[in-house]
Amino acid sequence: MQTPPFLKAGDTIGIVAPARKITKEELEPAVEILKGWGLKVKTGKNLFGACNQYSGTDEERLADMQEMINDGTVKAILSARGGYGTLRFADRLDFSSLLRNPKWIIGYSDITVLHTLVHAIGIETLHATMPVSFGKDADSVESLRKALFGQRLEYTLPPHQLNRAGKISAPLVGGNLSLIYAMSGGKSDLDTNGKILFLEDLDEYLYHIDRMMMNLKRSGKLDGLAGMVIGGMTEMKDNTIPFGKTAEEIIYDAVKEYDYPLCFGLPAGHGIQNKALIMGRTCVLTVGEQSTLVF
């Protein structure tokens, strides 16, 4: 995997909205933070556009992302927010200039689409908080700064009764479970063999979690893993007749027959905390009395 150059004061970071729309008022606090890091900020031409729930038409959002990829002055591309919509145009992106001049692609949730596509061409990305969420947690924003400027990332994870002990060094892949499920079978399908799989999700029915985990299992994405680490399973929903298991229990049941390290409680995803993760980077996952994830 190629590691894009780390940022330094004076570099330019681009902001685009490949999914849901955002306003100038929502974005401005994050822009001030980025400038406080010594960065210049360039915004997409259609950043504040609107087409129903999206920040513009598919063609406009595609054009913004492609322009940032091709712009040699932009050293990192930060998605303003998630939502839904990146999948609608992602397969039309041309990554040839990114291969020549790697740069950080940053975001989470719907941006799992971009993480997966960029990993397929061998470039690391950042699963991290986005401008619309900068006000949630200062530590998460600081972890993004550390990652972008090349500082070490190390996280201690809380004990969990479903953890499975072990230690493994392998590349980290994954992201939002719903998006991984949505991409299954396409040209942007996720390769999990020999990897540590990270999963998180938001606002899903528990039986949907089970269905998606069964898809991952039936498609062979769970049996060749080096390890698994689970982030936030946030605001899960249930039916009138209870499903009978938590999201964490559903995930455990899907992988209980395997013996690789399994860890729950990574502070990443849609919760208040969303610590930066270097996707595609070989990291060390240790699961035991004190569990850690180190990049």
For the structural domain made of 154-294, what CATH number should be given? 3.50.30.60
Query: Residue 174's pLDDT is what?
Result: 98
DSSP notation for 66-84: HHHHH-TTEEEEEES--SS
CB 213 within 8 A of CB 250: yes
Does residue 278 register a pLDDT over 90? yes
Query: Quick check: 186 pLDDT over 90?
Result: no
- Taking CA 262 as the corner, what is the angle to CA 198 and CA 109, rounded to the nearest 5 degrees? 15
By DSSP bridging, strand 282-287 and strand 291-294 are: antiparallel
Give the mean pLDDT of 59-69.
98
Task: Classify residue 224 by its DSSP letter.
Answer: T
pLDDT at 45: 95
Q: Where are the domains of the chain?
A: 12-148, 154-294
pLDDT at site 292: 98
What pLDDT does 188 receive?
Answer: 75
Q: Could you report how far apart the first and last alpha carbons of the chain are, in Å?
A: 14
Token pair recorded at residue 239:
């039916």
Q: How much is the pLDDT for 4?
A: 98
Q: Which residues contact 147 (CB under 8 A, 6 or more apart)?
A: 126, 128, 153, 276, 278
- pLDDT the model gives residue 185: 87
Q: What is the pLDDT of residues 104-120, one digit of tens each?
A: 999 999 999 999 999 99
Residue 187 pLDDT > 80, yes or no?
no
Confidence of residue 167 (pLDDT cuts 50, 70, 90): very high
Q: Which residue has the tokens 């502070």?
A: 267
Fold match flag (12-148 vs 154-294): no
Residue 32's pLDDT is what? 98
Superfamily of domain covering 12-148: Murein tetrapeptidase LD-carboxypeptidase, N-terminal domain (3.40.50.10740)
Please report the pLDDT score of residue 71 as a whole number.
98
Token pair of 54, please?
């999206």
Q: Over 80: is that where the pLDDT of 37 sits?
A: yes
Whether 213 has a pLDDT exceeding 80, the answer reads: yes
3-class DSSP state for residue 138?
A: helix
The mean pLDDT value for 220-241 works out to: 97
Q: Which whole-number Å values give the CA distances from 72 to 6, 13, 23, 133, 293, in the listed order?
A: 15, 11, 26, 27, 33
Each residue of 87-96: pLDDT tens digit? 999 999 999 9
Q: In the sheet that 154-157 helps form, which strands lie side by side, from edge to edge?
A: 154-157, 291-294, 282-287, 166-176, 196-202, 227-234, 262-264
The mean per-residue pLDDT over the stretch 196-208 comes to 98
- CB-CB contact of 212 with 190 (8 Å): no
Whether the pLDDT of residue 53 is over 80: the answer is yes
Residue 2 has pLDDT above 90, yes or no: yes
* Residues near 274 by beta carbon (within 8 Å), at least 6 away in sequence: 108, 128, 129, 133, 136, 137, 140, 232, 267, 268
Catalytic residues: 109, 200, 270
**The predicted structure's pLDDT at residue 285:** 98
